[in-house]
Amino acid sequence: MNKIAAILLLLISFSLQAGQTSINSLRLWSAPDHTRLVFDTSASVKHKIFSLSKPERLVIDFSDARLNTSLAGFKGKDRFVRRIRSSKRHNNSLRIVLDLKSRIRPKIFALAPNREYGHRLVLDLFSTQSIAKAPVKKAATKRYKQFQQARDVVIAIDAGHGGEDPGAIGTYGTREKDVVLSIARKLEAMVRKEPGMRPVMIRKGDYYLRLRKRSALARREKADLFISIHADAFRNKRVRGSSVYTLSNRGASSEAARWLAERENSADLVGGVELKDKDDVLASVLLDLSQTGTRQASHDVASKVLGRMRRIGKVHHTSVQKAGFAVLKSPDVPSILVETAFITNPTEEKRLRSHKHQAKLARSILAGIRDYFHKNPPPGTRLAQKMNRKPAVKRKHVTNRGDTLAMIAKQYQVSVNGLRDVNGLSGDVIRVGQVLQIP
Ligand SMILES: [Zn+2]
C-alpha cells in the first residue's frame, strides 16, 4: 500500500463515528457447489444472521457498523443470490439482506487479518437439496459402465489458488490464479483430444477451493493423476525456471522447497478457510500407510514432466523436488505440483501472460504425462488394452499338414483376407512348415 492510500484510509476512519466498524467492500465468488461472500471490515464486527422465507431471504445484522461500498453490482449474476440490499437500523446497526433464488444453508465465520487482507467476515451459501447423493450415484453408474468397457486414464487438472486467493503477484500485476487457470484450461483441451485420456478440471473458474477439497474431488473422479499447476515467486527477481514437485512426508528436499511449501500451504488461510479440522493426526497416519505405493508413481510422472519441460526452457531445479504440499496429500492418487515459471521474474511474467507460451507449457506437461502413462498404463484402461494388443500382432502359426488358410483364419478368429494381407499371399497356397503372421 502506498502512502497516499494509507492517508486516505486514515481520513476515512477519522470520518467515522467513534467505535463504528465500516464495511469497506464486498466480494462474491460463485463456485459450482456454493457461493462465497466476503465482507472486508475495518475491524472485527458483531453480527447476527437469520433466514426469512416467502420469499427466501438471508438477513445479516451488523451492530455498530456502516456500509462504505455499493451493493448495486451484485444483481442477478449468481446461482443463489438475486440481489443484495442494505438499510440503516436503530442504534447505528446495519442490515444487509440477500434476496435469494432458492433456499440455502448459510455458514458464516470471521477471519483475522493476514498478508493479503484485513479483517473479513466470510459467508458461504450452500444448496439445501442433498446434491451430495444424486451426483455420486450417477457417477457410480457411469463408472460401472466404464468399468465394463475399457476406461480412459483420468487426469485431474488443478489450477492453484483462485477467488479470494490471488496466489503470487508479478511486477506487472499478473496474478498467479489467472495464468495458472489459463494454462490448466489449455491442458484440459489437449488432454480431451488425447486418445485414451480424459481430463477433469478441479477448479473451473475464479473461486477458491480448499486444498483438501481439491484432492477429494480428484479421488471422487477416480483420477489416475492429480496435477496442480502454479507459478513460483521469490524475493530475488532474477530467479527463474520451472520446477516439478512431489509430496514428501519426511520433510522438504531443500530449504527453498520448505519455504515454498509453507507459502502454498498458507493458501487456505488466504483463501478463507475456517481451520477447524481436527482429524489431521488421524489423516497423517492413514497417509503414511497408503502413500508408499503412489509415491513412486508420483516421482516417475514428475520426472517425465520435468524432462519435457527442460526441452522448452530453463528449469529451476534439474531434479524432481519434494515438499510437504497439502494439496498433494491424496493417498491413492499419484500427484505432482508444477511450478511453471517465476511470476516474480519480469521476463517470465511476460511469458506466463502469453497464450503461445501457456500452450507450450501445457503441451510439454501433456508430453510428460503421455510418456509416463504409455509406459505404465493403469489396468483396465484403453491404454493398457493397446499395450496388450501389441504381442497379439506378433502371433505366429506354423502350418501343419492339412491346414488351409480358412481353417487357420477360423482358429485365430481373423479373416482370410487379413491373413493374406499380413503374409503377402495372393492365393490360398501355403506350404507345410510355413510361418504365418497372425494379424
Ligand atoms: Zn501457487
Question: pLDDT, tens digit, for every residue of 409-419?
Answer: 888 888 888 88
Same domain, 423 and 369: no
Q: How far is the CA of 108 from the centre of ligand 1 (A)?
A: 26
Is residue 12, in this structure, part of any structural domain at all? no
Kindly report the CATH number assigned to the domain that includes residue 96.
2.60.40.3500
pLDDT confidence of residue 213: 86
Nearest alpha-carbon partner for 34 in 90, 106, 114, 95 = 106
Look at 386 and 329; give whichever has higher pLDDT: 386
How do residues 166-183 score in pLDDT, each as one tens digit? 999 999 999 999 999 999
Q: How far is the CA of 273 from the centre of ligand 1 (A)?
A: 16
Q: How far is the CA of 230 from the centre of ligand 1 (A)?
A: 4
Same domain, 262 and 120: no
pLDDT confidence of residue 261: 66
Q: How far is the CA of 112 from the centre of ligand 1 (A)?
A: 21
Same domain, 109 and 175: no
pLDDT confidence of residue 269: 61
Range of weakest confidence among 250-264, 327-341, 398-412: 250-264
pLDDT confidence of residue 390: 54
Nearest alpha-carbon partner for 341 in 329, 332, 350, 331 = 350
Do 329 and 264 form a contact (C-beta atoms < 8 A)? no
CA distances from 145 to 9, 96, 140, 142, 387 (A): 60, 48, 9, 5, 22
Is residue 270, in this structure, part of any structural domain at all? yes
pLDDT confidence of residue 1: 45
Distance CA 66, CA 13 (A): 11
How do residues 278-325 score in pLDDT, each as one tens digit? 344 434 434 444 455 577 888 899 999 999 999 888 888 888 888 777
pLDDT confidence of residue 147: 45
Q: How far is the CA of 266 from the centre of ligand 1 (A)?
A: 10
Same domain, 199 and 55: no
pLDDT confidence of residue 136: 45
Q: How far is the CA of 410 from the centre of ligand 1 (A)?
A: 59
Q: How far is the CA of 6 from the centre of ligand 1 (A)?
A: 28
Q: How far is the CA of 222 from the centre of ligand 1 (A)?
A: 24
Is residue 177, in this structure, part of any structural domain at all? yes
pLDDT confidence of residue 254: 58
Same domain, 96 and 172: no
Q: How far is the CA of 231 from the centre of ligand 1 (A)?
A: 6
Number of domains in the chain: 3
Residue 143 has pLDDT above 70, yes or no: no
Distance CA 338, CA 209 (A): 18
Q: How far is the CA of 168 from the centre of ligand 1 (A)?
A: 6
Q: How far is the CA of 369 from the centre of ligand 1 (A)?
A: 21
Look at 162 and 265; give whichever has higher pLDDT: 162
Please tell me the pTM assigned to this model: 0.66
pLDDT > 70 fraction of the chain, expressed in percent and rounded: 79
Q: How far is the CA of 175 from the centre of ligand 1 (A)?
A: 10
pLDDT confidence of residue 350: 96
Handedness of CA 164, 167, 168, 173 (dihedral sign): negative
Q: How far is the CA of 114 from the centre of ligand 1 (A)?
A: 17
Range of weakest confidence among 259-273, 274-288, 331-345, 357-371: 274-288
Same domain, 248 and 348: yes
Same domain, 315 and 354: yes
Max Cα–Cα distance, the chain, nearest Å: 107
- In this prediction, residues 38-66 reach a mean pLDDT of 89
Q: How far is the CA of 343 from the centre of ligand 1 (A)?
A: 10
Q: How far is the CA of 374 from the centre of ligand 1 (A)?
A: 29
pLDDT confidence of residue 346: 94
Residue 268 has pLDDT above 80, yes or no: no
pLDDT confidence of residue 78: 86
Q: How far is the CA of 169 from the centre of ligand 1 (A)?
A: 10
Q: How far is the CA of 333 from the centre of ligand 1 (A)?
A: 20
Do 333 and 342 form a contact (C-beta atoms < 8 A)? no
Domain extent, residue 193, equals 153-274+284-382
Same domain, 178 and 299: yes
Look at 292 and 373; give whichever has higher pLDDT: 373
Which residues make up the environment of ion ligand 1, defined by Cβ < 5 Å? 160, 167, 230
Q: Which contacts (CB < 8 Å, 24+ apart) does range 423-430 have?
A: 428/404, 430/399, 430/403, 430/404, 430/405
Q: How far is the CA of 263 from the centre of ligand 1 (A)?
A: 8
Is residue 1, in this structure, part of any structural domain at all? no
pLDDT confidence of residue 6: 54
Residue 250 has pLDDT above 70, yes or no: no
**Neighbour count for residue 304 (Cβ, 10 Å):** 24
pLDDT confidence of residue 134: 42
Q: How far is the CA of 232 from the centre of ligand 1 (A)?
A: 6
Nearest alpha-carbon partner for 209 in 155, 267, 275 = 267
Q: How far is the CA of 177 from the centre of ligand 1 (A)?
A: 8
Q: How far is the CA of 260 from the centre of ligand 1 (A)?
A: 9
Q: How far is the CA of 165 from the centre of ligand 1 (A)?
A: 10
Same domain, 290 and 432: no
How do residues 17-47 score in pLDDT, each as one tens digit? 557 899 998 888 888 888 889 999 999 888 8
Kindly report the CATH number assigned to the domain that includes residue 404.
3.10.350.10
- In this prediction, residues 52-71 reach a mean pLDDT of 89
Residue 336 has pLDDT above 60, yes or no: yes
Distance CA 367, CA 362 (A): 9
Range of weakest confidence among 44-58, 91-105, 247-261: 247-261
Q: How far is the CA of 57 from the centre of ligand 1 (A)?
A: 37
Distance CA 76, CA 56 (A): 15
Q: How far is the CA of 330 from the centre of ligand 1 (A)?
A: 18
Q: How far is the CA of 225 from the centre of ligand 1 (A)?
A: 19
Same domain, 288 and 259: yes
Same domain, 404 and 371: no
Q: How far is the CA of 233 from the centre of ligand 1 (A)?
A: 8
Same domain, 121 and 266: no
Distance CA 129, CA 39 (A): 26
Is residue 162, in this structure, part of any structural domain at all? yes
**At residue 285, what are phi and psi to the nearest 5 degrees?**
-65, -45
Q: What is the mean pLDDT of the chain?
A: 81
Is residue 158, in this structure, part of any structural domain at all? yes
